[in-house]
Amino acid sequence: MLEDGRISNRQAVFLIVSTILPTSIIYIPAIIYQEAAQDSWMSVLLVTAYGVIVGAIIAGLGLRFPDRTIVQYGELAVGRLLGKVVGLLYAVYFLYINTYIVREFAEFTTTAFLPETPLVVFSVGIVLAAAYAVRCGLEVLARANEIILPVVLVLILLLVALISPEMHIRNFTPVLEQGILPVLQGSYRPVAFLFTETIVMVMLIPYLSRSRQARGTIIRGILIVGLFQLIIVVAAIAVLGVRTARLEFPFLTIARQISIAEVIERVEPFVMLIWVVGGFMEVGVFYYCCVLAAAQWLNLKEYKALVLPTGVLLTVLSIVLWENVLELTRQISEILLPIAMAMHVGLPLLLLTAACLRGKGGGAR
């Protein structure tokens, strides 16, 4: 087997949270607010519900083949040739979405903290760190995350608690000013690629210590993400109000607002900390999935040989794919979004239907 490690279901929940949360808390509040304004929190609830449904589909698919990753069971579900195509698609897709994450990480750091440092420094830095973690294997990744994620979550709660004196309830009114439509629009964009990033579980389910409970694991992960996203969005509405839509990184601005008796001030480095360690885990998980998928697709005995080339590719792509930050954000909604919809929801649903019709798999029942 390529990966001999086993991770506990709790570690898997943590991994899911780490995969989705960092990007979503930094970038998403503004995106939702531009559509749904003061009703953004409803959008988050919708997003979470949608994420749970998609998570259930992904789990349903994985549970039919509990000992195999999607690259391995693709052939069983839809036949040898199509299965190979599916496997390749996922291997490439994990690389592709990761380039966005690496670039977003670098863009945030340059825009918000170090404008004169070249982008490539951050790309190389985070990919190198992630590469080391990936080489060490899934167990190491999961255990590192067990240390990192609680720090991230506690810091988020701490920052929100510190800003609570600045919150204004009146920012939430009027409720549903423009009807329900903006709420739906607000939930569409982030839904598509963030709250369905549980797709990484198609690679990880076979390595769960209790893979039969994968469905609960995925749903728990999504609910935690949803809860924290809700906290952040509520804080953004209550503290920043209309300003949320204008800002690139509302959460950073929230942290900058904190001023308790002029003693506790300038806590934005904590946001940086959240983003660096969180982003590292996020990149690491997708990186790992990509490398593992590629190795399985090529029938290699070891995936370690692929780590470095993939990392180089990841770094280079993250820099050359987009000229500037506006191109990046535009492509997220215009190109990544439809692709992610297809890869996260469409393809798993197709595979699940095919497997059911052909009566393949069935480990779950």
Partner 1 sequence: MKRKIALAALVLLLLFAAGCWNRVELEQRAIVAGFGADQSGEEGKIEITVQVIKPGEIRAGPAARGGSPKAVVVYNSTGYTFFDTLRNLTMLLGKKLFVSEAKIMVVGEELAREDIGKVTDFYDRDHELSTLNFLLIAQGEAREILETEVGTEKIWAYGIADMVKAMKAHGKAPATKVQDFLDAVESKTTAPVAAAVQVVRKEKEEGEGEEKAGKEKAVLPKDLKLSGAAVFRKYQLAGWLDEKETRGLLWVTGKIKSGIIVAPAPGSEDKLVAFEIIRASARIRPEMAGGNLTVTVEVKEEGNLGEVQPDTVDITRPGVLKELEERKRAAIEDEIIAAVIKAQELNADIFGFGEAVRRKYPREWKQLEDRWDEIFPALEVNMAVEAKIRRTGKITKTAEPKP
Residue ranges in contact with partner 1 by CB under 8 A: 111-113, 115-117, 170, 173-174, 176-177, 241-243, 246, 256-257, 259
| Closest distance of CB 144 from partner 1, Å | 20
The residue count of the chain comes to: 365
Query: What residue type is assigned to position 22 of the chain?
Result: P
Nearer to partner 1, 249 or 288 (CB): 249
| Closest distance of CB 112 from partner 1, Å | 6
| Closest distance of CB 21 from partner 1, Å | 24
Orientation angle between helical segments 181-193 and 40-64, nearest 10 degrees = 40
Is the Cβ–Cβ distance between 177 and 282 less than 8 Å?
Answer: no
Q: State how far the Cα of 128 lies from the Cα of 318, in Å rounded to an integer.
A: 14
Nearer to partner 1, 222 or 245 (CB): 245
Is the Cβ–Cβ distance between 243 and 253 less than 8 Å?
Answer: yes
Nearer to partner 1, 40 or 99 (CB): 40
| Closest distance of CB 278 from partner 1, Å | 20
Question: Residue 113 corresponds to which tokens in the numbers above?
Answer: 């903290």
| Closest distance of CB 243 from partner 1, Å | 6
Long-range Cβ contacts of 301-309 (<8 Å, 24+ apart): 301/2, 302/2, 303/2, 303/3, 304/135, 307/131, 307/134, 307/135, 308/131
| Closest distance of CB 37 from partner 1, Å | 11
Q: State how far the Cα of 32 lies from the Cα of 40, in Å rounded to an integer.
A: 6
Is the Cβ–Cβ distance between 17 and 149 less than 8 Å?
Answer: yes
Nearer to partner 1, 85 or 242 (CB): 242
Q: Which residues pair with 259 in a beta bridge?
A: 265
| Closest distance of CB 251 from partner 1, Å | 15
Nearer to partner 1, 63 or 258 (CB): 258
Nearer to partner 1, 84 or 256 (CB): 256
Nearer to partner 1, 6 or 113 (CB): 113
Question: Which residues, other chains included, contact 9 with Cβ-Cβ below 8 Å and sequence gap of 6+?
Answer: 208, 209, 210, 213, 214, 216, 217
